[in-house]
Amino acid sequence: MSEASDDATDEELERIRERKKERLKSEGPDAVTGASDADDGAGGDTPDEPIHVEDGSHFEEVVADGVVLVDFYADWCGPCKMLEPIVDDIAATTDATVAKVDVDAHQGLAREYGVQGVPTMFLFVDGEAAERRVGVQDEGALRDLIAQHV
């Protein structure tokens, strides 16, 4: 990845973090501390939108720390399109970072992780693949999966 695209990615992540901080501040003190009546309070330092992986090194950087849900998808995949709003909501409302990998654009990553069908979801914990799910997953199942590792 070029230095210019590194800077653009860093700037994008910083903008996402700032928007999330502002949103949390506007929701009141319970939102900032993560306390709420819901079990899935938004995380403080995780982006509230999925991160679109640019290449292998960007992928490694994204999954290196914390709990990261990775959605291997394809634009032409109907089930992937059904899963998209669920993935977006999980990014906005959980303590996990969410990343998306387009298998057509990043065939090497898909091959490296043995992705043979889409959608395939991985849950990474501090850089290690901890869980794998193939096919459309219901939102509750994904939230439970994340909750086991946060």
- If we measure between CA atoms, which residue out of 71, 65, 72 comes closest to residue 128? 65
Extract the runs of DSSP E, i.e. beta strands, from 5-66: 51-52
Choose the catalytic residue: 77, 90, 98, 142: 77
Q: Tell me what pLDDT residue 45 has.
A: 82
Active-site residue, from 24, 53, 68, 80: 80
> Could you tell me the CA-to-CA distances from 102 to 41, 71, 110, 144 in Å, in that order?
28, 8, 9, 25
pLDDT tens sequence across 60-89: 999 999 999 999 999 999 999 999 999 999
pTM of this prediction exceeds 0.75: no
Q: Which residue has the higher pLDDT, 67 or 44?
A: 67
Catalytic-residue membership of 80: yes
pLDDT digits (tens, 9 = 90+) for 15-35: 665 665 565 555 544 443 333
Domain 3-147 has CATH 1.10.1660.10: no
Q: Is the dihedral of CA 107, 112, 114, 119 positive or negative?
A: negative
Domain locations in the chain as residue ranges? 3-147
Mean pLDDT of the chain: 84
